[in-house]
Chains A and B, each alone.
Chain A
Amino acid sequence: MGATNEPLADAATAFAFERPTPSAIVPPMERTEAELIAAAVRGDTASFEPLIQKYSPRVFATARRYARLEREVEDIVQEVWIKAFQKLDSYRGEAPFEHWLMRLAVRTCYDFLRAHQRNREAAFSEISDEEDQWLERFAAAPEDASEQAVAAKQLVAKVLEQMTPAGRLIITLLEIEERSIKEIAELTGWSVPLVKVRAFRARAEMKKILARMTRDKYL
């Protein structure tokens, strides 16, 4: 590491005549996660890179549950990593780093939902023809309407978009990702009774949105 601060000529000379032993250079990928984190806490941003590479797929998958546009997803994930770097000294190493990071990711997604609440409500109010047809099929014969249909996926996305941030977060974690109440409490930082209350309200809210969506034609 120190060689990078030397003048270029000196570094080249050192490389040519005094090759370091393999144990002297430890590539970032070969260092343990704890070592990388410790180095990043000291301000070494390069040590943070392997962590970003390793855990970004998981964070991206989480962010894509809450944001529709790819630009928004990237912003969320970037925000997660910046927060992670800034708060890294608060990570005590008692739980796996991934758990700590996912807590941060879920809370960042929740902040995003709260910040963009009004935009989403306005953008998603009308049902497309395909979704309308799927609802008609469901009304005629519920078993014939496939949940694999694109229209069903679009419809549920619209329902989730119209929900409150807390309701959407709970439905996503509890019903879609099928996490336990305790896990949700740990991820969100809410108490177990609060998660239960919000889950009850979220289901009711979702039903209310569905009722409003289908009222005109099918009820």
Chain B
Amino acid sequence: MKLEALQKKLLAAARADTPSDRVPLAFEKRVLAHLQQRPAIDPAALWARALWRAVIPCVAVSVILATVTFLPIGNSTAGAETPDLSQVFEQTLLASSAEQVQWEDYW
């Protein structure tokens, strides 16, 4: 069977089959009723929904941070001082301001 010819024939059949444009009775009333029923946007509800959605990621991040903070992680090299997480965190946060102070001294 020639697939090319079959394809053309079937597409011609589809073209010949024009879909109906009949509209169900009082369809516009149904749409309008639906539009009027829609509640107005409530900012408080949106905020509450966003908070609920944020719960799981926040809990997950908290668990990961707690694990990292409290569990001793593998490579505790003998004799070497374990860096204090709080100090490292503080240095990282204040790094930009420390650089700024240095530049101000320079100028």
Contact = CB atoms under 8 A, between A and B. Distances in A.
Interface residues of B, number: 32
A34 interface: no
A207 to B, nearest CB: 5
B28 A52 contact: yes
Find the residue from A153, A176, A178 having the highest chain B CB count within 10 A: A176
Q: What 8 A-B pairs have minimum CB-CB distances, sorted nearest first?
A: A64-B19, A57-B21, A152-B13, A147-B13, A52-B28, A61-B21, A156-B10, A147-B12
A77 B13 CA distance: 25
Main secondary structure of the interface of B (DSSP, over half): helix
Nearest to B9: A147
A153 to B, nearest CB: 5
Main secondary structure of the interface of A (DSSP, over half): helix
A52 B15 contact: no
Interface of B: 1-7, 9-24, 27-28, 30-32, 34-36, 38
Nearest to B4: A207
A82 B38 CA distance: 10
Contact of B24 (A74, A147, A207): A74
A109 to B, nearest CB: 12
